């Protein structure tokens, strides 16, 4: 049975069921207001002979999953007590080689010195390139005739610095650098082709020649 007195409502137990209750007040929208910290959470079967109400309070409700309990909080406290942040640990942290004002100043000095070194370095635009080539002395221009057998075309010259040979015939001419010339092998000059001795073909020994036909003319320029 529900009894209302001066705006206060009480739920009285019946013969078979008892409802846990608390003192409630009703607002102007006829909504219950909890008074005293107890909330109605359901029915409790007290039996047919029950005469008093059973109160179920929020403190008796189960905790949400993962909530901190007295046990877990005690574990956290134990960890803090067992391994607290000590002065020794702080000293160890301080002893670490962190960048200080002094080390940063040293780094700045190094970079300043580097800037000076780069700004004062000798650049390629500041250097005048000097040729390492030496002027050569040309020998008297010469000419020759090449036959169908290998023969000496230019004699050995220990002072030779360079040599130019031009085939001025309509025949093919092959050269042998210090070796017997073989037609169409090694250095071979087509009609009117020019060969210039360079650092990879430089020799001071005799130059032999052979042609595809008799009396094949060549022009020769040697440098000492």
| CA-wise closest residue to 44 among 69, 23, 18 | 18
> Residue 38 sits in which domain range?
2-60
CATH number of the CATH domain containing 170: 2.60.120.770
Tokens of 77: 């406290």
pLDDT tens figures, 116-137: 777 777 666 666 666 677 889 9
Instruction: State the Cα angle at 57 between 35 and 33, rounded to 5°.
Output: 25
Which DSSP state fits 210? E
Quick check: is 92 in a domain?
Answer: no
Quick check: is 69 in a domain?
Answer: no
Q: Which residues pair with 43 in a beta bridge?
A: 19
Confidence at residue 142, expressed as pLDDT on a 0 to 100 scale: 96
Which residues neighbour 156 within 8 Å (Cβ) at sequence distance 6 or greater? 204, 205, 206
Confidence at residue 58, expressed as pLDDT on a 0 to 100 scale: 58
**Per-residue H/E/C for 143-168:** EEEECCCCEEEECCCCCCCEEEEEEC
Quick check: is 137 in a domain?
Answer: no
Confidence at residue 101, expressed as pLDDT on a 0 to 100 scale: 77
Residues of the chain with pLDDT under 70: 1-63, 83-99, 122-131
Confidence at residue 31, expressed as pLDDT on a 0 to 100 scale: 57
- Which secondary-structure segment (H or E) carries 130? none
C-alpha to C-alpha distance for 124 and 163, rounded to whole angstroms: 34
Confidence at residue 132, expressed as pLDDT on a 0 to 100 scale: 73
pTM above 0.85, yes or no: no
Tokens of 196: 């210039």
State the total domains in the chain.
2
């Amino acid at each position: 049975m529900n009894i209302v007195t001066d705006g206060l409502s009480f739920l009285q137990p019946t013969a078979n069921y008892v409802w846990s209750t608390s003192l409630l007040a009703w607002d102007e929208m006829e909504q219950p207001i909890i008074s005293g910290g107890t909330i109605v959470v359901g029915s409790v079967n007290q039996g047919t002979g029950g005469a008093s109400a059973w109160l179920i309070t929020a403190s008796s409700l189960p905790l949400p999953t993962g909530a901190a309990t007295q046990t877990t909080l005690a574990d956290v406290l134990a960890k803090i007590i067992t391994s607290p942040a000590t002065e020794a640990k702080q000293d160890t942290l301080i002893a670490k080689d962190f960048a200080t004002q002094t080390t940063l100043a040293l780094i700045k000095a190094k970079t300043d010195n580097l800037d000076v070194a780069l700004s004062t370095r000798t650049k390629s635009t500041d250097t005048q390139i000097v040729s390492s080539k030496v002027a050569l002395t040309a020998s008297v221009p010469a000419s020759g005739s090449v036959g169908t057998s290998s023969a000496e075309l230019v004699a050995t010259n220990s002072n030779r610095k360079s040599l130019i040979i031009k085939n001025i015939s309509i025949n093919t001419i092959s050269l042998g650098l210090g070796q017997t010339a073989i037609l169409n092998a090694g250095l071979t000059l087509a009609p009117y082709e020019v060969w210039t001795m360079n650092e990879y073909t430089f020799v001071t020994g005799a130059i032999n020649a052979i042609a595809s036909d008799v009396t094949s003319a060549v022009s020769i320029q040697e440098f000492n």
